């Protein structure tokens, strides 16, 4: 039996500028992605023997994929063709001449439907793990192409670090960052549907008669990243989806306020939410802020992390 394990980070959006809806239903974005040290792990194994409690395998074109999920909100992750990691394995198999199959084990730490691209991260990890397991050796650009077809955030989960995404977020240019930024994430009860948050954003803009202009990566934001200046970065964080996320999940306003009151340098909803992200000036300040948010009781749980960190990468087998 052979297996390959890949570790893959969550992301927070430092800037998420959303254009008007396109004909294909997506929105053009200026999306400054930042990978943080909150990791899922995906193990791909060629041991296809059925185990008690297994979900039925998803079979397509002769390739069979079984998936099991452990950890953070594992019961909310689909085990059928709706699982993006399963779709990733099948897409790679189709590209590679359909190997016999794979068993995927996903160990979750990234919140499910939390606005931190956990599903996309698992898909990116599955691509890297299956590529290695099946000995395909595909070029990174080929994996990036497959990733972009799977979802807007999947290419960034392969790349990691910090990058500006345009188009629907899949066209990436890496950004130079000095040093390390310290984050606190407040995880919410339940998740939010990304598609619903985008629709709510469109609805609110229309109701308010808001004109949406052309956007680019903010100069202050880019300068703060280059200088490693957490205070300047905190003031430059932007998320156009935040009003929509707050409309769909009202308690988040209180969560953000609590973080600001406790001295966060910046506070925003992560992507389409409902996770809230807070920037701190140091690891110690992040730990103190996390404790204060726990005590305030304004969220389900709190985690600290730092960024940037690299994208999906194989980790050595455990003894
Ligand atoms: O690409 P992904 O499957 O992650 O997107 C999920 C949903 O989010 C899309 O179906 C779409 O409704 C919305 N979306 C969007 N514009 C983007 C990215 C996502 O409208 N640039």
Tell me the pLDDT tens digit for each residue of 77-104.
999 999 999 999 999 999 988 777 999 9
CB contact set of 186 (below 8 Å; sequence gap of 6+): 255, 259, 275, 276, 278, 293, 298, 299, 301, 302
ipTM confidence score: 0.96
Catalytic residue flag (residue 153): yes
Span 265-274, pLDDT tens digits: 999 999 999 9
Q: For atom 8 of ligand 1, which residue has the closest CA?
A: 195
Q: Where are the domains of the chain?
A: 3-174, 181-307
Set 11, 40, 131, 240: catalytic member: 11
Residue ranges of the annotated binding site for ATP are: 111-121
| Topology of domain 181-307, CATH | Alpha-Beta Plaits (3.30.70)
Position 1 pLDDT exceeds 80? no
Question: Greater confidence, 302 or 99?
Answer: 302
Query: Exposed, middle or buried by CB within 10 Å (0-12, 13-18, 19+), for 312?
Result: buried
196, 166, 148, 182: which is closest to 282 by C-alpha?
A: 182
- Give 90 Cα–ligand 1 centroid separation in angstroms: 21
Multiple choice CATH, 3-174, 1.10.1740.10, 3.30.230.10, 2.60.40.1840, 3.40.50.11740: 3.30.230.10
Q: Where are the alpha helices (DSSP H) in the chain?
A: 84-95, 118-133, 140-150, 154-159, 194-207, 219-227, 230-236, 242-248, 252-261, 283-296
Both tokens of 252, joined, read: 């988040």
Position 72 pLDDT exceeds 90? no
Span 31-51, pLDDT tens digits: 999 999 999 999 999 998 888
Chain mean position to CA 310: 13
- Is 272 close to ligand 1, i.e. is its CB under 6 Å away? no
Catalytic residue flag (residue 24): no
What is the model's pTM? 0.96
């Amino acid at each position: 039996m052979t297996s390959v394990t890949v570790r893959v980070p969550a992301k927070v959006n430092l800037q998420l500028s959303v254009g008007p809806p396109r004909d294909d239903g997506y929105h053009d974005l200026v999306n400054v992605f930042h990978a943080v040290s909150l990791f899922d792990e995906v193990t791909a194994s060629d041991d296809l023997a059925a185990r008690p409690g297994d979900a039925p395998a998803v079979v397509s074109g002769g390739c069979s994929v079984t998936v099991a999920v452990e950890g953070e909100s594992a019961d909310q992750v689909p085990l059928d063709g709706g699982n993006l990691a399963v779709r990733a394995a099948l897409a790679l198999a189709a590209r590679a001449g359909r190997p016999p199959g794979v068993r995927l084990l996903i160990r979750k730490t990234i919140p499910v439907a939390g606005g931190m691209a956990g599903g996309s991260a698992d898909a990116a990890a599955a691509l890297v793990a299956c590529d290695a397991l099946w000995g395909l050796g595909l070029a990174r650009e080929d994996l990036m192409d497959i990733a972009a077809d799977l979802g807007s955030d999947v290419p960034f989960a392969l790349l990691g670090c910090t990058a500006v995404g345009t188009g629907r977020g899949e066209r990436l240019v890496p950004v130079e960052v000095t040093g390390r930024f310290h984050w606190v994430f407040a995880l919410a009860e339940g998740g939010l549907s990304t598609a619903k948050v985008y629709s709510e954003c469109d609805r609110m803009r229309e109701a308010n008669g808001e004109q949406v202009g052309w956007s680019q990566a903010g100069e202050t934001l880019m300068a703060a990243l280059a200088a490693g200046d957490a205070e300047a970065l905190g003031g430059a964080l932007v998320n156009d989806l935040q009003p929509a996320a707050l409309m769909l999940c009202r308690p988040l306003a209180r969560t953000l306020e609590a973080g600001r009151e406790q001295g966060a340098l910046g506070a925003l909803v992560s992507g389409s939410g409902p996770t809230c992200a807070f920037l701190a000036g140091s690891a110690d300040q992040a730990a103190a802020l996390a404790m204060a948010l726990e005590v305030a009781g304004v969220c389900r749980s709190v985690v600290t992390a730092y960024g940037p960190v690299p994208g999906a990468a194989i980790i050595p087998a455990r003894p």
